[in-house]
Structure 1
Amino acid sequence: MQQLSCLRGITGVTFTQNFTAVGNNLGLSTIVALIPILYFFWALAIKRMKGHIAGLTTLLLAIIIAVIAYKVPVGMAVMSATQGAVYGILPIGWIIIASVFLYKLTVKSGQFNIIRHSVLSITEDRRLQALLVAFSFGAFLEGAAGFGAPVAISAALLVGLGFNPLYAAGLCLIANTAPVAFGAIGAPVIAMEGPTGIPATEISKMIGRQLPFISVFIPFYLVFIMAGFKKTMEVLPAILVSGISFALSQYLSSNFLGPELPDIISSLVSLISLAVFLKFWKPKTIFRFSAEQEMASTATVKKQKEVHYTGGQIFKAWSPFILLTATITLWGIPQIKLALGGHYVGTNGILNVVNKIGHAFTFLPEVPFVHNKVFSKAGGAPIPAIYKLELLAAAGTAILIAAIITKFIVNMSWKNWVKTFGETLNEVKFPIITIAAVVGFAYVINVSGMSTTIGLALAKTGSHLFPFFSPFLGWIGVFVTGSDTSANVLFANLQKVTAQSIGMNPILALAANSSGGVTGKMISPQSIAVACAAVGLVGKESELFRFTIKHSLILVVIIGVIVWLQNSVLSFMIP
C-alpha cells in the first residue's frame, strides 16, 4: 500500500473507483448512475431531440454526475470523454464515412441501377429482398467487419431498391441481431477469454446453443414487422429456408470450428440457399409497401423485365461491394490485422514489411490525466488509457481502398471522386458528432465506475432471477458502448463471479452477456446514428430509436427466458 501511495504521489492526481459512491449505498448509487441513460432514452423517445443534441447533452450530464456524485477529478472526466470521442471517430466514424462514400460512388456512376435490377431479377418482393439484403448480406458484413459497416451498407442498398429509409434502417438494425455475437471474425467472444480465463471455444459453443433460436426467429420477425401475419405466412417457405439454414450453420460452426467463422459461414449458406430456392419457388403475390408509387404497376414491371444486362455488366456493378467484402475480410484476418497495426511479431517476410508500414501509420499517445491514473480498487493495478489511432488497420481504410479501386472500375474522374467524398463528409457530419459524443459518454461512465454499479445491482437479483437478468447486463453494455465486444470486456468478469456465487455455470452467464448484448445493438446510439447517416435520416434519430426500442426489449426478454430455461430445466445444453 505504501508503494501504491508513492506511485500516486509521483504520477499526480489519481482516482479509485467507488461503486457505491452515493451514500455508500448500492441502491442509491445505481439510481444516480442510471440518470444519464434514462435521460438519453427520454431525449430520443419522448423529447425527440436530434441525435447530436441528445448525445452532447447526455455526455455533459454524465461528466457532471461523474464529478459531483462519483468524485472523479474534472480533468480526468473530460479527458476520458475525449478518449471515447476519438474512438468514436476512428474507427467507427471512419467506417461510416467510407461506407456511405462507396455507396454514393455506385449511385453517381449509374452502377446501382444495375445492382437494383439484379436483385429484382431474383425477386421483386420486398419481403424477400429484406431477407436477402438485410439478414443474409448484412450478417456477412457483420462477420467480416463489424462496427457500422453491416447496417450502413445493407440499409443503403435497401433504400436504393426503393425501401422507405426509416424502414430500411430499422429492418437492418433488427436483422443485425442474429450475427453480432460472432461479428468481426469472432472478436466479442475472443475478448471474454482474457479477463475470465475461460476458453473462447467453450463460450462459443454456449452462444451457439442460444442464438440459433433467435436466428430462426429473426427472418419471420422481420417480415412480420413489414407485412403483418397473413402476408408473412405467404412467404413462410422462404423464411424457413433463410432462418433454418443460417441457424443450423451457426450452431455447427460455433460448436465445431470456434468463434471466428460462424457469421461468414452462416450468412453465405443462408444467402446461397435462399437465392437458389427462389429460382424454383415464387410467392403467390408480390408484396410492395403501400406508400410506393405506381412504378409497381403491371406496365412498369413489364418494362423493367424487358431490360437485360449481361453477366459482365452485373459483375461490374457489384464489383465495389465484392471489393468491399474482399478488403474487410482481408483486414479481419488476425495476423494481417496485427501487421496493419504495427503489432505483428513473426517470420513472414511480407507481413514484416506490412508491419513496418502499419507501424508508421499507428499512433498510441497516452490520454492526459487518465493513463494509469484510474484504479479499479484500492491496491489494484492502474488502468492504462491511450488514444488508439491505427490509421491503416482501421476497417474504414479497407473500405476506402475498395472505393479507390472502384473509381477506376467505373471510370470516374478524380474531380468527381473527390467531390463525392466532400459531399459524403457534409452528409455525415452530424452523425459523426453524435457517435463521438455517445462513445465519450460510455468512456466517462466506465472510468467513473457507474457502469459497474449498474452491473452489481443486477447481480443482486439472486440465484432464481439472475439467469433471466444476466442477458440484460449485456443489453445495457451494448446500449452504452455500442459494441458487443466492449460490453463483454466490461461485464465478463462480473458475470463469471456472480454466476459462481449463485451456483450458475459461468460459461452460461458469459454466453448470456454476449447473446443479450446483440439485442441492445439496435438501440445503441452509435448504431442509430450510423443507420440514419446511411439512409439520409440525419436529425431523425429519435424516430428510428422509437421504431427499434420495442423490438429490442422483446428480443432481450426472449434471450432471458432461454438462459433461465438452460440454467434450470435445459442444463444438458451447457457444454
Structure 2
Amino acid sequence: MTTALPAVLAAYTPDVHAVGGSLTGTALLGLVPLAVFFLLLMVAKRSAFQSALGSLVTALLVATLGYGMPAGLSFLSATQGIFNGLFPIMLIVVAAIWFYELTVVSNRFEDLRRSFSAVGRGDLRIQAILIAFCFGGLLEALAGFGAPVAITASMLMAIGLPWQKAAVSVLVANTAPVAFGAMAIPLTTAGGLTGIAPEDIAAVVGRQTPILALFVPMLLLFLVDGVRGFRQLWPIALVTGAVFGVVQFLCSSYFAYELTDVVSSLAAFATAVLMLRVWTPKTPDDQRSQVEPEPLTARRVTLATLPYLLVIVIFGVAKLTVGVDMPSLLGKAAIQFGWPGLDGKLLTGDGTPSTSSVYKLDVLGNPGTLLIITGLLVILVYSLAGDRDRFPMSGRTGLLAAGRTVKNMRGAIATVATVMALAYVMNQSGQTVAIGTWLAAVGSIFALFSPALGWLGTAVTGSDTSANALFATLQQSAGKAAGIDPTLLVAANSSGGVVGKLVSPQNLTIAATAVGQPGSERILLGKVVGYSVVMLAVLGVLVWLQSTPALSWMLP
C-alpha cells in the first residue's frame, strides 16, 4: 500500500482545459496576470518592479487555485525563475554595463566620442548617423537598458542639434540593434525559456531586423534636415545601413550571435570612414557642428577602441572550432542540475518528466564571464598605458566601478528577477501554453500579428528581454498549435520588441531627461509613434510571408 503525496509535493501535469474543461476559459484566466501587470504599470503608474511583483502574486494564485498546480511547486517555479534572472541574465547585463563604465572612468570614452565626431567632417547630419546609429548600436550591444539613448542624445545636443531632433533621432536609431542588445540577452532569455537554441533564434532575427537597419540611417537624415538632408547625403546613409544590416545577418548566423551589434556597428562606422575619404558631402552652414573635435593621436584612438576590439577577439576565440573545439572545451565547466523539489514533479502530457525544471549555467562560455575576462584585460592594458593623471586606471578603479554598477543596477536586477519568476510560474503551470493554444485558433494568419506581442511587451516594460520573458513561450506554443515554425514566432517576438522600444515610456523619459526637457514625453511620443507603427506593420507582413512559401527561403 502506498501513501499519497501531500498536495504541496504532488506531481503536476499542465492542462489547457483546466478551467471547466474549456480552452477559452483556461486561456482567459491565464491572461489575468499579464492584465494585472499592464494595469499596474500603465494605469496605476506603479514601478516596473511593483507591477511585476503584483503580477507574480496573481500568477501564483491563478496557478494554484485556477490550474490546480500544487502550491509548493508554484513557489519553486518562481524561485527557479528568480535564479535564472540573476544567473545568467543579469550577470551578463551587469558585466556589460561595467565593461562600458571602464571606458568612462578611464576617460577613454571621451576620445572615442571625439573619434566619431571627427569622422563626420563637421556635418551634423552625418554625425547624427555616426553617433545615434553606429555608436548607439555599439552602446546597445554592450549596455542596453536605456544607456544608448541617454548617452547619444546628450552627445547630439553637445554638437548643436536642437533638443527635439536629438531626442527623436536617438529614439529612432535605437531600434535595429535592440534584439541583440546587452550581448544579445533578449535572445539568450528566449532560448532559455523555450528550449530553442539561442543561435537558431538569432539566425532568424538576423533575417528580419536588417530590413529596418537598411532604412534607419536614411530616416535619420530626414529627421535632422528634411528632404534636403536626404537628397544630399542618401549615398552614405544607404551604404552605412546596408553594411550594418549585412553584417548583422552574417554575424547572427555564422559568427558569435552575442557580438552581432558590436561587429555590425564597428563595420558600419569603418565603412563610413572609408567612404568619406573618397566622397565629400556639401554641408550647408546651418548644418555644421558647433563643436570642433580635438585632434587625436593614433595611439589615443587605438586605446579608445581597444576594449571593443578585445571583445570581438575574446568572443571570437570562445566560438572557434578550428583545431580546438572551444565551445565544447568551455562547456565542460557548465553547472547543471534538476531544480530541488521541482525536478521530476513537472510532467508532460505523456507522463514523462519535463526538462524545464533543469537548471544549466555555462560558467566559462557565458557572455558575462567572457566580458569580465575582457574587462580585466582592459584594466591591465590601461594601467600599463601610462599618463594616469589624464587617463586614470588601476585595479582598484575597476573594482570600484564594478561596485557602483551593481549598486546602480539593483532596481533593474530586482525587476528582471521578478519578471523571470513570473515567466516561469506562467510557463510551468501551463498558463502560457493555454494562451498560445487559444490564440493559435486563428491559424496561419497568427504570424502576421506575432510581432505585435513583442511590440506590446517592450512598449510597456521598456525591455526586449522582459518582452521575451513574458511572451516567448506563448509564441512557441501558438506556433506548434498553428503549424507555424516556433523558432520564427519566437524570433518575431524579439523583432517586434525592437520597434516597441520607440514608444516605451521608460525610453521616452530617458530621452526627455537626456536633452534637458523633462515632461516632454508626450511631445516625443507624438513624433515617433507613427514610425513605430509603420515599422511594426512591415515586420508583421515580413514574418507572415516568411511563414509561407513566398519568403520561407529566407529562413535558415
Which segment is superposed worse, 417-426 or 515-524? 515-524
TM-score norm. by structure 2 comes to: 0.74
**Larger CA deviation: 116-125 vs 9-18:** 9-18
Do structure 1's residue 372 and structure 2's residue 366 form an aligned pair?
no
Do 1:428 and 1:533's aligned partners in 2 also have CA atoms closer than 8 Å?
A: no
Counterpart Cα distance in 2 of 1:480 and 1:248? 22
1:434 corresponds in structure 2 to 415
Alpha-carbon distance change, 486 to 450 in structure 1, aligned in 2, over 3 angstroms: closer
Deviation track 1:130-170 (CA, whole Å, cap 9, x = no partner) reads 6445645666788xxx7x74567755753673568987984
What amino acid maps onto 2:329 in structure 1?
A
Q: Is the Cα contact below 8 Å between 1:138 and 1:172 reproduced in 2?
A: yes
The structure 2 residue matched to 1:495, chosen from 473, 479, 488, is 479
TM-aligned CA distance change 1:32 to 1:55, over 3 Å: same
| Cα offsets for 1:58-114 (capped at 9, x unmatched) | 222222222222222222112111111111112221122222222222222221121
Specify the alignment match of 1:346 in structure 2: none
* 1:468 aligned residue (430, 437, 448): 448
Amino acid at match of 1:561: V
Relative to the length of structure 1, the TM-score reads 0.72
Aligned to 1:80: 77
Q: Which amino acid in 1 is paired with 2:241?
A: G
2:541 to 550, 561, 564: 561
Contact 1:136 1:268 in 2 (8 A): yes
TM alignment of 1:270-349, pairs within 5 A: 270-279=268-277, 280-282=279-281, 284-285=283-284, 298=290, 301=291, 304-305=292-293, 307-333=294-320, 335-342=325-332
Contact (CA 8 Å) 1:219, 1:242: kept in 2 or not? yes
Q: CA 1:172–1:394 in 2, change beyond 3 Å: closer, same or farther?
A: farther
Pick one of 194, 215, 223 that aligns with 1:217.
Answer: 215
1:178/1:535 CA distance change after superposition, 3 Å: same
SS of the residue corresponding to residue 308 of structure 1 reads coil
Tell me: CA distance 1:297–1:460, structure 2 relative to 1, closer, same or farther (3 Å): closer
Shift of 1:120: 0.7
Q: Which residue of 2 aligns with 1:354?
A: none
Instruction: Tell me how far 1:520 sits from its aligned partner.
Output: 2.1
RMSD: 4.9
Percentage of identical aligned residues: 26
Q: CA distance change for structure 1 residues 271 and 365 in 2, over 3 Å: closer, same or farther?
A: same
Matched residue, 1:519: 496
Query: After the TM superposition, which residues 438-449 of structure 1 pair with which residues of structure 2 at under 5 Å, given as runs?
Result: 438-449=419-430
Aligned length: 518
2:21 is the alignment partner of 1:24: yes
For the pair 1:109 / 2:106, whether they are aligned, the reply is: yes
Unaligned ranges ≥5, structure 2? 158-162, 384-392
Structure of greater relative contact order (alpha carbons < 8 Å, 6+ residues apart): 1
Q: Offset of 1:213 from its aligned partner?
A: 3.2
Asked if structure 2 preserves the Cα contact closer than 8 Å seen for 1:18 and 1:449, the reply is yes
Measured after TM superposition, the shift of residue 435 of structure 1 is 0.9
Aligned-pair CA distance for 1:492: 4.2
What SS class does the counterpart of residue 431 from structure 1 fall into? Answer: helix
Give the CA deviation at 1:460.
Answer: 0.5
Quick one: which of 363, 366, 369 aligns to 1:394?
366
Q: Is the 8 A contact 2:133 2:174 kept in 1?
A: no
**Selected match of 1:237 from 224, 235, 238:** 235
- Contact 1:44–1:50 (8 Å) recurs in 2: yes
For structure 1, which segment, 6-15 or 447-456, has the greater mean C-alpha deviation from structure 2 after superposition?
6-15
Structure-2 residue corresponding to 1:69: 66
1:520 alignment partner AA:
G
C-alpha distance in 2 between matches for 1:423 and 1:391: 24
Task: Measure, in 2, the Cα distance between the counterparts of 1:74 and 1:223.
Answer: 56
Check conservation: 2:454, 2:467, Cα contact below 8 A: no
Letter in 2 for 1:336: M
Tell me what 2:390 maps to: none
Q: Deviations over 1:385-412 (max 9, x none)?
A: 1343444332112212222222233322
- The residue that corresponds to 1:175 in the other structure is 176
Corresponding position of 2:90: 93
SS class of match (1:364): strand
Deviation per CA, 1:325-384: give whole Å up to 9, x if none.
333333445743443232xxxxxxxxxxxxxxxx3xx43343233212112325344335
d(CA) in 1 for partners of 2:274 and 2:144?
Answer: 23
Name the CA distance, whole Å, in 2 between partners of 1:287 and 1:386: 60
TM-aligned CA distance change 1:326 to 1:133, over 3 Å: farther
Cα distance in 1 between the residues matched to 2:171 and 2:336: 36
The 1:275–1:37 alpha-carbon spacing in structure 2 relative to 1, beyond 3 Å, is farther
Q: Give the deviation of 1:13 after TM superposition.
A: 1.4
> Unaligned 5+ residue runs, structure 1?
289-295, 343-358, 500-505
In the alignment, residue 558 of structure 1 is paired with which amino acid? V
Q: 1:23 aligns to what SS in structure 2?
A: coil
Cα distance in 2 for residues equivalent to 1:555 and 1:473: 14
Distance 1:266 1:427, change over 3 A: closer
Deviation at 1:457, TM superposition (A): 1.8
Name which of 25, 30, 34 aligns with 2:31: 34
Q: 1:401 to 1:497 in 2, by over 3 A?
A: same
Q: CA deviation at 1:451?
A: 1.2
Distance (Å, rounded) in 1 between the aligned partners of 2:338 and 2:78: 14
| CA apart distance, 1:276 | 2.3
Tell me the secondary structure at the aligned position of residue 31 of structure 2: helix
CA distance in 1: counterparts of 2:403 and 2:455, whole angstroms:
36
Residues 451 and 536 in structure 2, CA contact (< 8 A), matched pair in contact too: yes
Tell whether the 8 Å contact from 2:9 to 2:70 is kept in structure 1 after alignment: no
